[in-house]
Every structure is written in structure tokens, then in C-alpha cells.
Amino acid sequence: MIEAHATARYVRTSAQKAGLVLALIRGKDVNRALATLKFTRKGVAEDVAKVLRSAVANAQQKDGFSGDVDRLFVSACYANQGPSQKRVRPAPMGRAFRVLKRTAHLTVRVAERAEKVGPVGTGVGTEAPKRRRAGAKKQTPAAKRATKKAKE
């Protein structure tokens, strides 16, 4: 299983704001994550998409990569706080307000999904599991026999 990551450092946003966008793509496959980022109305979404594309490119360069980008998914993504730039804003009567311009380090980690391997001819993964109706109760063996006799 191939795993790769990419990091963008000193991105001009707070780690908290970037974390909101990163939470949208965590666990999704790469194509779906890029589509989500494209339509996300946050400024940091472009930076996250750029880091995600870089992580995919890093995975393609690794030895043992299958070559199928569709099998890649976002295994982890997080934003750490970077250094804050301190600035001064003039205030009334000769005073000054402090302004913190925050930065963040964005990290996106992608991994390759493992193929489901099953015995040949058994049809593992080909049929959907049977579901019971909502609220349906499991029949007891005695009730099954009574139903069977009633049908005969």
C-alpha cells in the first residue's frame, strides 16, 4: 500500500479556518475531494487543492504505485499553526492596537486503497447484503414452523 504526503508551509490563513475545509475532504477519494474543493466557498480551498494535487503527484513517483489514481484517497489531512506576524494598527489618542496575521502549515496525506481479495468464483463483493425492513422483528423457530404449516 503506497502512502505519500505533501505540506504547504506558511499559508496566510489561520489553522482553524483551514481545518474546516480539510474536514470536508478527510476520508474521501482524491477525485471526489478535488471536486468538493472546487465548489467550496472558502479562500483556503485553492491552497488545499494545490497541496492535494502535490500529494497525488508524490504518490505517482513512488515505487510500487499501481498507476491507478482512482484508488487513492485522503487518509489524513490537518493544519498546524505556523508563526504569527505581529503588526501594529494606529488607534485613537496616540494608542496602538496589536494585529496578529496568522499562518498555517497544511498537510495532506494520501494512501492507496487495498483491493478486496476473495476466492475465485465465490462472488465475494458482487451481491449486496440482504437487509431487513425497518422495524421488522426476527421470527422465532416456532413461528417459522407455524407459517410453513399454514402455507401447506
pLDDT, tens digit, 9 for 90 and up, residues 3-37 = 999 999 999 999 999 999 999 999 999 999 999 99
Query: Which domain does 47 fall in, by range?
Result: 3-114
In a domain, 149, yes or no: no
**Cβ 30 vs Cβ 48: under 8 Å:** no
In a domain, 133, yes or no: no
Count of structural domains within the chain: 1
In a domain, 101, yes or no: yes
* CATH number for 22: 3.90.470.10
pLDDT, tens digit, 9 for 90 and up, residues 32-71 = 999 999 999 999 999 999 999 999 999 999 988 888 899 9
